[in-house]
Structure 1
Amino acid sequence: MHAWLYLLTAIALEVTGTLSLKHLHDQPLTHTLLTYAQLSGAFYLLSRAFRQIPVAVAFATWEALGLLSLTVLGAVLLGEHLPPTHLLALGGLLLGSALLGRGTRHPPEDTRAPADHTVPPAPVTGQPA
């Protein structure tokens, strides 16, 4: 559960840090340092999420939710154009991320460990085999 919280927080930091990059050229040094701290924190939390979430799932989620958030916020906050083809592409990213996550949760039947982990009893010493 903590891993998903790390991942979602990392996405939020990456999105806010990336949006901040748009206006770095006319900001004071403190704003620049805050932006770099957000982006560094995002990668640190992503590395923490990798400890429990498969890399493919975590990174696909990171990319899909990050791009979706940046695209929507760019359109709403910055007035950037959002054509239907971009919306279709974002839907494809989300679908791909969901399929990756679904495909890694349950290993195929032939790779699962057998349910019966019993060890046969050891022969009793002193008795003929």
Structure 2
Amino acid sequence: MRAWTALLCAIALEVTGTLSLKVFTSAAAGPGLELILTYALLAASYVLLSRAFRQIPVAVAFAVWEAAGLILITGLGALILGEHLTPTQLGALIALSLGAALLHHGTRHAPRPATPPPGVTDQPRALPGIRQEPA
């Protein structure tokens, strides 16, 4: 559960950091503290994403992070910044959601072998040219 919490926090930080880029670049003042804040938010997002990778498969975590981030950024851009959404863009957001959900569904139900495959042993394999001491 902690991995999913880290992933959701990573998404929130990514969305905040990305939207702040738009807000800060439209401000009359030059880059300064605002730019440092944006970088810090995006860096923290990647740190939390890396923590989510510890328990969530990379394909699932990255797909959810990207899809949710894009959907939220696009939606908030339309609501807050007045950006226009076309039907094609809405279809793409739906496709992103479906893709992330399919990756999650396909990964979650993957069977795990109960026994090791034939030929696999618990004994470490000797490397060629290296002498190993008996245990």
Please list, as runs of the form range in 1=range in 2, the aligned pairs for 1:1-129 lying within 5 A after superposition: 1-25=1-25, 26=27, 27=29, 29-108=32-111, 112-113=113-114
Displacement of 1:33 in angstroms is: 1.3
**How far does residue 7 in structure 1 lie from its aligned partner after superposition?**
0.3
Could you give the per-residue CA deviations for residues 8-63 of structure 1, whole angstroms, max 9, x where no partner exists?
A: 00000000100011133335622221111100000000000000000000000001
Moved over 3 A (4+): 25-28
Give, as a single letter, the amino acid of the residue that structure 1 aligns with 2:51.
Answer: R
Listed as ranges, the gaps of 5+ residues in structure 1 are 115-129
TM-score normalized by the length of structure 2: 0.78
- What's the % identity of the aligned pairs? 63
Instruction: Kindly provide the amino acid, as one letter, of the partner of residue 81 in structure 2.
Output: L
RMSD after superposition: 1.3
- The residue that corresponds to 2:128 in the other structure is none
State how far apart, in whole Å, the 2-side matches of 1:112 and 1:103 are: 16
**Aligned with 2:114: secondary structure?**
coil
TM-score (norm 1): 0.82
Whole-angstrom CA distance in 2 between matches of 1:67 and 1:104:
22
Aligned equivalents of 2:17, 2:34: Cα separation in 1: 10
